[in-house]
Structure 1
Amino acid sequence: MKTTGNTIFITGGSAGIGLAIAKKLNAAGNKIIINGRNEERLEKALLELDGAAAIKGDWADTSERIRIANELKNNYPDVNIIINNAGAAFGYLLSEETNAVEKAQIEMNINYFAIIHFNELMIPHLLQKEESAIINISSLAVYGSHKFLPTYGATKAALHSYTVALRYTYEEQKNLQVYEVYPPLTNTEFSSYIGGENGIPPSEVADELLNGLENNQFDVPVGETKIYAAAISEAMSKITPEANHS
């Protein structure tokens, strides 16, 4: 995948991992469009990006996603890379929480259903491009849950399963590539309540993504996640092709 001269849309691009990715890809010579709900944070982020633009909107709302997609296609027709980075996570104990189902619904909507919907809105446009990509920002949580994030891991596992299916769906159409990035604990405001200050810098996630794009590495584990990815890869290598496709 080319890493310069793209027009890239990033949800949740005003802070944290999204902003780090925006900075990295902007510095590499790409036009960046960021999305977020908070206008002040968007304006602040734009000051750190050369020639970037912003589309304010609530990613969790169906009608807003439709509006954002239409604005992208109409005002930024060169957009050829979508980075689904916006996410939601609630930290709590199931033994103490009485509204776990509501929290799980919010997480699943933003981390899973919203991505499926937005991709459906944008894929016809992306397929018209000579080269395009969908990049889903997943998580180390794909590989297991945590009692303080009891429903978040399930949403990322669902996203992973969908991403694999999406990749298989378009693997013969070489102009649309599907990537998945797996950050571990990262030092952002988003993860501050679960000890994010002990995590890796968000710039490391951005560095690994750029490297993945340069090398057409569709699964991009980051930091600690590489240990899990290597173990799974080794296990899968021992499975026969027949079993792998069953």
Structure 2
Amino acid sequence: METTGNTIFISGGSAGIGLAIAKKFSAAGNKIIINGRKQARLQSALTQLDNAIAIQGDLSVKADRLKIVEELKNNHPNLNIIINNAGAAFMNDLSDSSSNTADKAYEEINTNYISVIDFTALTLPQLLKQEEAAIVNVSSIAVFRSNKYLPTYSASKAALHGYTQGLRDTFAENDKLNVYELYPPLVNTEFSAGIGGANGIPASEVADELFIALEKNQFEVPVGDTKKIHELVFPITENVPH
């Protein structure tokens, strides 16, 4: 699809991967709408972007989702790309009965999965009016294998992965709407600092890969180490009846 002249909404766009994507697509001549919970961080991010505005709100909250969708419909009728990037992650020790594992899992599932389904459903009528549109769901290398440090986060991203495949199949015959899945590995961001993010790839590498994928209409977008796993897994799963 075209990588310039779009109106792009990016959740979690004030820092990390979301901000890197905003910078990449802003520089390419797109109108950028970044979203986040904290107004101060959004304003700081805007100083690093051209042709961008911010909509403050917490997409994990239903009332905020409705407010944001209404603003997009009324003030940004040309919206044609949404990038579902906002996420929640917790170190979650399943052996510790006092660590509130279910509460952490609930927040991860709500933010990384349920809210994405609802926000996408709410914006679909607007996207389907456009001549060319895309939905980008940011999942993770963790969809392929969980671990003892982030078991419930991995599960929430695996759920998002399954939903994304189903969404892509649903609109497979609509040549105006494409569904992409972006699979970052460990990325050096504030979000991942607590799990060794300093050893990860730069967020700009994720943004670059997504940009190339949109140019090529490459709907599966593995990045970095995820490419090795994806090369093994994807040919097998694509042969499963669906």
Q: TM-score range by the shorter chain?
A: over 0.9
Which deviates more, 63-72 or 93-102?
93-102
Task: Give, as a single letter, the amino acid of the residue that structure 1 aligns with 2:13.
Answer: G
Q: Please state how far the C-alpha of 1:115 moved relative to its aligned partner.
A: 0.4
2:116 paired residue number: 115
2:153 paired residue number: 152
Task: Give, as a single letter, the amino acid of the residue that structure 2 aligns with 1:40.
Answer: A
1:52 paired residue number: 52
2:4 paired residue number: 4
1:126 paired residue number: 127
Unpaired runs of at least 5, structure 1: none
CA contact (8 A) 2:92 2:104 kept: no
Q: 2 CA distance for matches of 1:75 and 1:232?
A: 42
Q: Does 1:17 align with 2:47?
A: no
Instruction: Compute the TM-score of the two structures, normalised by the length of structure 2.
Output: 0.97
Q: Please state how far the C-alpha of 1:97 moved relative to its aligned partner.
A: 5.0
SS at match of 2:192: helix
Q: Please state how far the C-alpha of 1:209 moved relative to its aligned partner.
A: 0.2
SS at match of 2:82: strand
After superposition, the C-alpha distances for 1:35-64 in whole angstroms (9 at most, x for unaligned) are 001111000000000020000001110010
SS at match of 1:177: strand
Alignment: residue pair count: 241
SS at match of 1:136: strand
Which deviates more, 225-234 or 67-76?
225-234
Q: 2 CA distance for matches of 1:6 and 1:236?
A: 32
Matches within 5 A, 1:35-114: 35-96=35-96, 98=98, 99-114=100-115
Instruction: Compute the TM-score of the two structures, normalised by the length of structure 1.
Output: 0.96
Task: Give, as a single letter, the amino acid of the residue that structure 1 aligns with 2:211.
Answer: L
CA contact (8 A) 2:30 2:51 kept: no
C-alpha distance 97-72 of structure 1, shift in aligned 2 (>3 A): farther
Q: 2 CA distance for matches of 1:208 and 1:29?
A: 17
Q: Please state how far the C-alpha of 1:181 moved relative to its aligned partner.
A: 0.1
Q: 2 CA distance for matches of 1:203 and 1:20?
A: 5
Which deviates more, 26-35 or 96-105?
96-105
After superposition, the C-alpha distances for 1:57-103 in whole angstroms (9 at most, x for unaligned) are 01110010010011011111111000000000001321225210000
Q: 1 CA distance for matches of 2:51 and 2:233?
A: 41
Unpaired runs of at least 5, structure 2: none
Task: Give, as a single letter, the amino acid of the residue that structure 2 aligns with 1:74.
Answer: N
SS at match of 1:90: coil
Task: Give, as a single letter, the amino acid of the residue that structure 2 aligns with 1:223.
Answer: G
Q: 1 CA distance for matches of 2:234 and 2:67?
A: 40
After superposition, the C-alpha distances for 1:168-204 in whole angstroms (9 at most, x for unaligned) are 1011111110000000000000000000000000000
Task: Give, as a single letter, the amino acid of the residue that structure 2 aligns with 1:190.
Answer: F
1:245 paired residue number: 241
